[in-house]
Amino acid sequence: MILVTGATGRVGLRLARLLAGAGVPATAMVRAKTRAGRLPAGMPHLVAALEAPPPPDVLRRFDRVFLLSPTGPGQAAAEIVFADALAAAGHRPHVVKVAADGFQEPCCEVRFMRGHRRIAAHLARTGLPVTYLAPNLYMEDLLAAAATVRSRGALLAPAGDGAVGFVAAADVAAVAVRALSGEEEVGQVHLPTGPESLGLADVARRLSDACARPVRYAEVSPAEARRGMLAAGLSAWHADGMLELFDWVRRGGCATVTDDVPQATGREPVSMAEWLAGTRAAFTGRPPATSPLAWSPDTGRGSDVGRGPCGGRGPGAGGVDGMMGGWRSQGDQR
């Protein structure tokens, strides 16, 4: 039996639907009973939180655990509490943890990745069997820029000429199904990315094609970006983390492209053009969808393109939301 944490977020909910559709026994963990209404019909659920885990007798029902939580200053502490609860239950479930590409790189000092690195170190100390999913930035991050695209025809960010191997959340969920599939996955690190590495000027051109109107990329200074993020309601902690992330993008840290999605799923990853074709309404006139399932296709590690500033596979920052233009963080939309 699989326990899915973060089961109403943009990756977790897609995973829950894939598991339910395949008839795989799974239970969702939700923070409040009211959130269970978003789950697939008939899917069992339990009410708990990472920082307030279910009791040991409940945890022992699950031999596989999908571990995902929103980005924030308390993320590492909450996941460590939950990992300790799993270890104390004594049955050694297989944990599939969603991290961020770059968490495994000692030279990456983006606080979001440092938090995942801290969690990974603690999981290693528990002795639990672990598989990691470390996606690049999500295509869905671009929805935070939809209002700016609609009103000003622009993507605004201090990203320089840095490129990103944007990945669709649906593809990350599909790789998660593979990661949860068996013992041979233990110890693996999957790096899901899209099929190409794109600068924001490239994304703007694809937006122009999808929206049938000009969209440009306009670089802003880090100071201007910080003022905008704070004015939009981001905390200083998150705004400063976003500036660290933009610096990582400028240095090439998010340029990774791998074949991990086709290796895991047997199909090509969703391209930016395909994703924009399904979400163009958000950028042309209708407000962005609030559902984490704004779009989804019907639906091992491999070679990579691009090298990061650490000299290995170029790291990214999957799971860090609200990167572009709108200066808002959507978290994992629990």
List the CATH number of the domain containing 184: 3.40.50.720
> Is 207 within 8 Å of 152 (Cβ atoms)?
no
Residue 118: which domain range?
A: 2-135+169-190
- Does pLDDT of 286 surpass 60? no
Domain-located, residue 72? yes
Q: Does the residue 282 lie in any domain? A: no
Q: What is the pLDDT of residues 216-228, one digit of tens each?
A: 999 999 999 999 9
In whole angstroms, give the CA distance from residue 3 to residue 8.
13
Asked whether residue 71 is assigned to any structural domain, the reply reads yes
Asked if the structure places residue 179 within a domain, the reply is: yes
Contact 268, 195 (CB under 8 A): yes
Instruction: Report if residue 33 sits inside a domain.
Output: yes
Q: What CA–CA distance (Å, rounded) separates 86 from 218?
A: 47
The structural domain count of the chain equals: 1
Question: Which of 219, 223, 239 shows the shortest CA–CA distance to 155?
Answer: 219
Query: Averaged over 281-294, what is the pLDDT?
Result: 60
Report yes or no on 110 lying in a domain.
Answer: yes
DSSP code at position 282: H
- The phi, psi pair for 103, rounded to 5°, reads -60, -25
pLDDT in tens, 24-55: 999 999 999 999 999 999 999 999 999 999 99
- The pair of three-digit structure tokens given for residue 153, joined into one six-digit string: 């025809």
How far is 275 from 296, CA to CA, in rounded Å? 8
Q: What is the pLDDT of residue 139?
A: 98
Q: Are strands 163-164 and 198-199 parallel, antiparallel or unpaired?
A: antiparallel
For the chain, first and last CA: distance in Å?
22
Give yes or no for residue 292 having a pLDDT over 70. Answer: no
pLDDT digits (tens, 9 = 90+) for 260-273: 999 999 999 999 99
Does the pTM surpass 0.85? The reply is yes
Domain presence at residue 206: no
Angle at 173 between CA 262 and CA 325, to 5 degrees: 100
Please report whether residue 306 resides in a domain.
Answer: no
